[in-house]
Structure 1
Amino acid sequence: MCDYLEIAPSIFNHPTIARPIINVSTTRLLSNTLVLGLTLTLCGATASVAATATTDPVGYNTISLLANSDTYVSVPFHRPAAFVGQVSSFSGNVITVAGTPGWTASQFVYASGTQANTYYAFIRSGTKEGNYYTVTANAGNTLTIDLAGDTLTGLAANDSISIIPYWTLGTLFPAADAGVSFTTSASPFAVQTYVLIPNLQASGINLSTTSSYFFYNGAWRLFGQDLTVSRNDDTLIPDTYFIVRNNASAGTLTQTGSVLTKKFVTPLQTYTGGKQDNPVALLRPVPVTLDDSGLAASGAFSASSSPLNLSDILLVFDNTVAAKNKSSSATYYYYNGAWRKFGADASQNFGSTVVFGPGTGVQIRKATSSTGSASIWTNSATY
C-alpha cells in the first residue's frame, strides 16, 4: 500500500517543471531519502521516472551518525550546476563549449579568500557520459581540465556538459550545523568529531586514512597542520566515501542537493604488486542492488574462478553498529554468473541485495593486476 504526497512546484524555483507527485511508502522512504521532481514507486524498493524536467530534480537524505562510532558517509546528490551547455570541440585537455557563455577568466578556479569553490566538468551525454574532471583553468568559453591519466577521446560536438562545484567540508558541514551534524571541539587535544578521508593515492589494502579534519574555533581544521588555517574549502570527492568518527555525541546529517539522472563513471584502481582497495560510493539517492550497480555488467568487477579462489571482492560496512575501526559486515564476490556472499552457499544468488544505500559507501578490493590499469565502472540510474 502506497500513499501519495503532492509537492508544490514552487520549491524548484523553476517555472518549466510541472507539479511532481511522489509515491511514498508508509513504511520506507528510500532509507530516509526524499527525491523531488521524480515519480518514485517505493513499494518493493523500486524507482521509475514518470516525468522529465529541464533541470535535475532535487532531494534530501538523512543519515544517523552514531556516538562512539565510525559512520561511512557519501553524498548522494551533487551541488547545483553553475553551467549546463554543449561541447563545441576539444584539444588535449581543453574543452571549448558552444556559444558565448561570457565566463570571466578563472571563474571556475579556486582562489582562497575570493573564490571558495573548486569545480569539475561533468559529461552528460555521448560516449564519455558519466566522466568528470577537475577544472584547473578557464577562459571566456574554454575549460582546462585535469584528465588524471584519462583522455577525451570519444567526446564529440554537441555532447552535453555541466560545470558543478564539489562539495566541501564547509558546504556539507556548515558552522551553523554545529551540535547537529557534528560536535565542535573545544580543544585540538580533545576532538569530538573527526571527518576522515581515505587514502586514494597509496597502493595496497587496509590503508589508513590520509586526512583527519575537526571543527575548532569556528572552522574546519586539518590535524597536524596550522590550526589558524581554515579548511572549510577542502573538497569531498563524489564517488568516494569518507568516515565521520564521533566520540561522546551522536549527530544527524541532512543532505540536500541535485539528483544525478545521468550515467556515472568510477575508475577502480588496480596494483601489480598485490590487491588494491578502492573506497567508493554511488552518487544515487535510492537503494541500489548488486545487479543494478553495473559492477559486473560493465566489466569493472572481475569474476572469481572458484569460491575458494576469490578475485575481486566487495566489502560492506554496517552503519547501525556502533564501533570504531569496524570490520566489514559482509563480503560479496561474483562467481558463475551471479553475485555470491562469502560464508553462504555458493549457489545462492545475492544480486537483488541492496548494498549501496543512499549516502553510504563500500570498499571494492581489486585482485592483483598484471598491468596496473584501472577498471572502469559505469553505473546507470534505475529511476
Structure 2
Amino acid sequence: MQQAWRWYGPNDPVTLRHIRQAGAKGVVTALHHKYNGEPWSLDDVLAHKALIEKEGLVWSVCESIPVLTDVKIGGPGAQRAIENWKTSLRSLAGAGIPVICFNFMPVVDWTRTDLEYEMPSTGLALRFDMIDFVAYDVCVLRGDAAAGFYDPAVVAKARQRHAGWTPDDIRQVEDNIICGLPGGEGRYDRAGILRELDLYRDVTPDKLRANLVHFLKEVVPVAEEVGVKLVIHPDDPPFSLFGLPRVVSTAADLRHILSAVDSPANGIVICTGSYGVRPDNDIVSMIREFGPRIHFVHLRNVRREDHGSFNESDHLDGSVDMVAVIRALLEEEAKRKAAGRADWQIAMRPDHGHVLVDDIGKKVNPGYSCIGRLKGLAELRGVMVALAHQDPALPPI
C-alpha cells in the first residue's frame, strides 16, 4: 500500500516536511480554504499541488470535496451544488489527482464527545460516549422531543449524567459535538444546528439513500470520463445520531451503493475505525467482498464500549484485528497486480492518533497530531513489512 498522510494545508501544525520525516510518500488533502461549495478551479488545485510536490511528495487522494446539504435532502439548490461538485472533480482530474473521497453524512460529520480522553498510557485519545451524546441532545439541545430517538435505558442514564454536569461541562460537550472537527463540512452554534436538523425532518433513510444514488448517477459518469476513482467514506460513527438516517454504515449499505451505480469509478473507503465500531461489521470479509472497488484505506483502531460508545485505541490494540485487515488488503493488491491493473496499489493513511510526548499542550488538530500518527504509521508499516517478508506472494513494501 502507498503510505500517505492527511494534511490540512499551509495552516496545519503538521507540515509537509514533517510528513516526509514520517516516511509517508503520499498526501491526502483538499482545498480546505474553499469548503463552502464553490467550484474549485484548475489553477487553485495546481497551486495546492505545487506546494506538495515542492517537498518531494505526491497528492494521492483528495479528501474531500464537500457534498452540500441541498444534495443530501434533495433541496432546491441540489443541481447547482452537483454541477459545482463536477467542476471541482474535473479540476482535480486535470491536475492528475487519481482518487476523490467524499461522505454523505447528514448535519454532523465524524463526531466525538471527548477530544482528550486519557488512556492508560497517559496519552490523549478521541472518544465517543453515547451517554454524553444523548444527554446533550435530550437534556440540552432538543429536550424530551428527542428522547424517542434513543433506547429508553440510555436516556435514563443520560438524564442522570446531565444532572451532574456544570455549565462548563455542557459547553465542552457542545463544542466537541457541534463546533466542527478537522475535515468536517459544518460548524454550528446551538441555533444553527437546530435549523439544520429541521431541514431533515422529512428525510427518511430511503429518501437519503435515493438522494445518494441520484448524486452518484450524476458524478460517476464524469469520473469515468476524466479517469478518476470516487470513494465514499462510511458514517462515523456508523449509526444514527440526532435521529438522522445514515446510509453508509454496513456491508448491506455498500452492496446497495455499488450495485446502484455499477462502475469501477464508484468505489469505497475502508475506514477500519468507522466500520469497526459495529461488531456486526466483519471488515476482513468486507475487504474480500468489495476488494476491486476499494481505492483508499483509513487504518485506525477502536475499542468498543457499552451502548455504542468507543474510544480510539492504539493502531494495533483494539476491537479490530489490524493484522488480519492488512493481510487482506495486501492480498487484494496482489490480485490486482497479477491481473495487470495499473491501479493495483491502494493508498492508505494512519487515521487519527493519540496526543503524545511533546504534542501534549501544543495546538493540534484533534485526531491529527504528529507524534501519535507517526507512531501509528510505524506500527502499520512494520506489520506490512513483516507480512510481505513472510509471504513472497504479497507486494513488497
| Same fold by TM-score greater than 0.5 | no
Question: TM-score scaled to structure 1, two decimals?
Answer: 0.27
Using CA pairs below 8 Å that are at least 6 residues apart, which structure has the higher relative contact order? 1
Structure having the larger proportion of residues in strand: 1
